[in-house]
Amino acid sequence: MRKILFTLIAFAVGIGTGLAVGWYAWPVTYTESAPSRMRQDWKDEAIWMAAQAFAYDRDLEAAQVRLRPLGSEDLGELVLRRTEKAVAQNLPVPHITSLARLAAALGAHSERTDPYLNP
Amino acid sequence: MSTRTLVLLAFVIGAVLGLAYAWLIEPVTFSESSPAQVMKPYREAWLIMAAEAYVQDGDWARTQARLNALRDADLSQTLTALFERYQANGPNPTARALARLADRLNVRTPAMQVYLAAITTPTPEITPARGTTGLPRPIDAPEATPTMTPEPLPRLPPTVTPNPDYQVIDRVAECTFSPQPPQIRVVVQDEFGQSVPGKVIWITWEDGGQDRFVTGLKPEIDPGYGDFDMQPDRAYNVGVDKPTSVIVSGLRADACETDGRTSWRLILTPRLP
């Protein structure tokens, strides 16, 4: 009886140890995850970079290719939300302008962002 | 089987099952990954966007943060490979931005130097002849970033002055057959005979026309090589750095004895004092 009890306890401790190692100490690391899984602040950065890149190369198709992996169906809305966030955060005008212009190029604008299209 | 052995065996089996569950059946899922963890194509897109944004705003601190987010231990290699892939399509803004970023990171290849030379080469100052009005240069470029696309050049009569800095050490006529156009093929070398990429070669012709190209865009031929397609009815002059500094003049694409037209191969080196 005692032998079975010790065996069961050891089995349970083994499972606990395996789970602890597999989840916390040495978890599975994903090196090829989808960009849509990026943290929101990285997504914000990516949208800003896409807007700056668009200001540089004027390549709307390239901008769409860069934004699409972020997981939004409506790219215009995605950039517009980021633009309005930049307005709310009172970020520098050139920063907002590049975002507003990309949003407009994607067919999205709002009263809050329109003044930044031609500052 | 002893109790100790049985307990140890139960522990090991339990640990293996626990690990299998944690790694294979219900692994930790990250919904908040970083740019370093995303798929390679998007990491490349991130690098390109960082490069273009850097050229756009010149914010190096921000660019460094963006590059650091990739946690790429061999960023120089990644950047070089990406540049090579883009520049293979011919001059384009992305390759130019990557070259600029690489230069900022002290990474330089001959092909990158061509782009950098095209960026930093000042626009030649052409003084219009008396009574001639030069065409204004278009200023509709949205950014301060110069472009490698040849700009429309003012058609002014060239004032030929000798260039004391360069000389022709080899001049060979070659026959080129259709459909290949006859060409002026220039290799620029330094005083030690090493090919020099990134040199601006000016081609002028008699009715005031002029054009330019940069050596090094065809490194598969020679790192210091560049060429220019000739028209059969024109006499061309070749200069280095400035359109008025003519080193060779009167190059014509005359008909060869056999079929075809004459191309010219020139090797230019700095003139020794």
pLDDT tens digits for A29-58?
A: 766 788 998 889 999 999 999 999 999 999
Give dist(CA B74, CA B195) in Å, integer: 29
Six-digit token pair at A107? 């067919």
Q: Which pLDDT score is estimated for B164?
A: 56
Q: In the listed set B56, B90, B120, which residue is the last one of a domain according to the structure? A: B120
- pLDDT per residue as tens digits for the range B157-209: 444 444 458 888 888 888 888 788 899 999 998 877 888 888 889 899 887 88
Q: In the listed set B66, B99, B120, which residue is the last one of a domain according to the structure? A: B120
Domain tally, chain B: 2
Q: Which pLDDT score is estimated for B31?
A: 60
Q: With contact defined as beta carbons under 8 Å apart, do B112 and B83 qualify?
A: yes
* Cβ distance of B8 and A10 shorter than 8 Å: yes
Q: Given B11, B20, B49, which is nearest A49 (Cβ)?
A: B49
Residue B76 placed within a domain: yes
Same domain, B116 and B168: no
| Residues in chain B within 8 Å Cβ distance of A12 | 14
Residue B177 placed within a domain: yes
Mean pLDDT confidence for A81-101 = 93
Same domain, B186 and B250: yes
CATH number, domain containing residue B262: 2.60.40.1120
* Cβ distance of B20 and A18 shorter than 8 Å: yes
Same domain, B166 and B266: yes
Residue B46 placed within a domain: yes
> What is the number of CB-based contacts under 8 A between chain A and chain B?
160
Same domain, B100 and B174: no
pLDDT at B129 over 60: no
Strand partners for B266: B171, B186
* Cβ distance of B32 and A66 shorter than 8 Å: no
Q: Which pLDDT score is estimated for B29?
A: 66
Distance from CA of B36 to the nearest CA of A (A): 7
Residue B142 placed within a domain: no
Q: In the listed set B71, B90, B120, which residue is the last one of a domain according to the structure? A: B120
- pLDDT per residue as tens digits for the range A20-37: 998 888 887 766 788 998
Q: How high is the mean pLDDT of chain B?
A: 79
| Residues in chain B within 8 Å Cβ distance of A7 | 6-7, 10
With a pLDDT cut of 70, the percent of chain B lying above it is 80
Same domain, B114 and B170: no
Mean pLDDT confidence for B6-22 = 93
Same domain, B114 and B165: no
Mean pLDDT confidence for B80-99 = 89
* Cβ distance of A46 and B49 shorter than 8 Å: yes
What's at B251, amino acid-wise? Answer: L
User: Best mutation site among A56, A60, A102 for testing chain B: the one with the most B CBs within 10 Å?
Assistant: A56
- pLDDT per residue as tens digits for the range B29-55: 666 788 998 999 999 999 999 999 999
Same domain, B195 and B109: no
Residue B222 placed within a domain: yes
Q: Which pLDDT score is estimated for B30?
A: 60
Label the pairing between strands B183-188 and B261-270: parallel
pLDDT at B258 over 90: no
Residue B126 placed within a domain: no
* Cβ distance of B15 and A14 shorter than 8 Å: yes
Give dist(CA A9, CA A1) in Å, integer: 12
Same domain, B115 and B169: no
Residue B8 placed within a domain: no
Same domain, B111 and B172: no
| Residues in chain A within 8 Å Cβ distance of B33 | 30, 33, 37-39
Same domain, B103 and B175: no
Residue B237 placed within a domain: yes
* Cβ distance of B40 and A32 shorter than 8 Å: yes
- Other C-beta atoms closer than 10 Å to the C-beta of A6 total 15
pLDDT at B63 over 70: yes
Quickly state the pLDDT bin for B133 (edges 50, 70, 90). Answer: very low
| Residues in chain A within 8 Å Cβ distance of B97 | 56-57
Buried b vs exposed e over B196-234: b needs ≥16 C-beta within 10 Å? bbbbbbbbbbeeeebebbbbbbebeebbbbbbbebeeee
Same domain, B192 and B109: no
Six-digit token pair at A23? 């989840």
Q: What is the 3-state secondary structure (H, E, C) of chain B?
A: CCHHHHHHHHHHHHHHHHHHHHHHHCCCCCCCECHHHECHHHHHHHHHHHHHHHHHHCCHHHHHHHHHCCCCCCHHHHHHHHHHHHHCCCCCHHHHHHHHHHHHCCCCCHHHHHHHHHHHCCCCCCCCCCCCCCCCCCCCCCCCCCCCCCCCCCCCCCCCEECCCEEEEEEEEEEECCCCCCEEEEEEECCCCCECCCCEEEEEECCCCEEEEECCCCCCCCCCEEEEECCCCCEEEEEECCCCEEEEEEEECCECCCCCEEEEEEEEEECCC
Provide the 3-class DSSP secondary structure of residue A106.
coil
Distance from CA of B10 to the nearest CA of A (A): 5
Distance from CA of B96 to the nearest CA of A (A): 10
Same domain, B168 and B262: yes
Q: Given A28, A38, A50, which is nearest B23 (Cβ)?
A: A28
Range of the domain at B72: 35-120
Give dist(CA A103, CA B7) in Å, integer: 64
In chain A, the residue whose alpha carbon lies closest to the alpha carbon of B143 is: A56
